[in-house]
Each structure stands twice: as structure tokens, then as C-alpha cells.
Amino acid sequence: MVHRAFLITLADLVMRSGDHALAMRLWPVVQAAIDGVLKNDVDEFGLITHEDADTWMDAKEKGLRAWSPRGNRAVDVQTLWLAAMGAAQALYDMAMEATSPRQFPRVGADWLEN
């Protein structure tokens, strides 16, 4: 499973650097990462599932028994997933801007001509 922080950090890098071409080059990687999570780790409710003690803040005794079982849909995991999906959307938008820069309508242009 791709680490969601990768997508969040990549979006932040592209946004801060302004290198939208990087978003375009890496979009296939982002898409594969999202597709992999959707195929392998997401349940029918759109939530990421995991085993007890498989998150960053849990531990297992001898790798078998969870010290603090929290179920298979921890809130911190879901929050990172939501943030990663937002980052993926931002990367997509920046990638598309690299291929076709955004054109804004000339709102009010007719006012200036009159």
C-alpha cells in the first residue's frame, strides 16, 4: 500500500515549486498508487481497512497480539486517506494545467472598451 504521506508531500512540492510539469510526469505513478489502494485496501464504504496494530501508533506483542486493538478502520488512517485523495486531485489539476494552461474568460473586458 502506498504511503498516503507520499501523495500529500508530492502535491506540496509541486505547489511550492510551481513545477506543474513534474505533476504531469508523475501522474501515472499517482494514479497507480490510488488505483492500488482502491483495489486492495478500501471497503464498500470507501474506507481503508487494516489489521489491529497495523497503524503508526500501535504495537504488537511478539508480532501477534495487538497491545491496543482499535478495530480495522482507525480514524487517523482515514484522515490521511482523505488528505491523500485531496492531494491527488490537486496533482491532477496541476498536471492538466501543465498540458493546457488555464484560460480565464475576459470578464468585464467589454466594460473597459466602453
* pLDDT one-digit tens code per residue, 69-111: 777 888 888 888 889 999 999 999 999 887 766 554 555 545 4
Please report whether residue 114 resides in a domain: no
What domain range includes position 56?
1-20+49-101
> Which pLDDT score, from 0 to 100, does residue 25 have?
94
Residue 5 pLDDT exceeds 80: yes
- Answering whether pTM is above 0.85, one says no
Tell me how many domains the chain contains: 1
Please report whether residue 4 resides in a domain: yes
Query: What is the C-alpha separation between 58 and 74, in angstroms, rounded?
Result: 11
> Which pLDDT score, from 0 to 100, does residue 102 have?
57
Averaged pLDDT of the chain:
82
User: Under a CB-based contact definition with an 8 Å cutoff, are residues 52 and 74 in contact?
Assistant: no
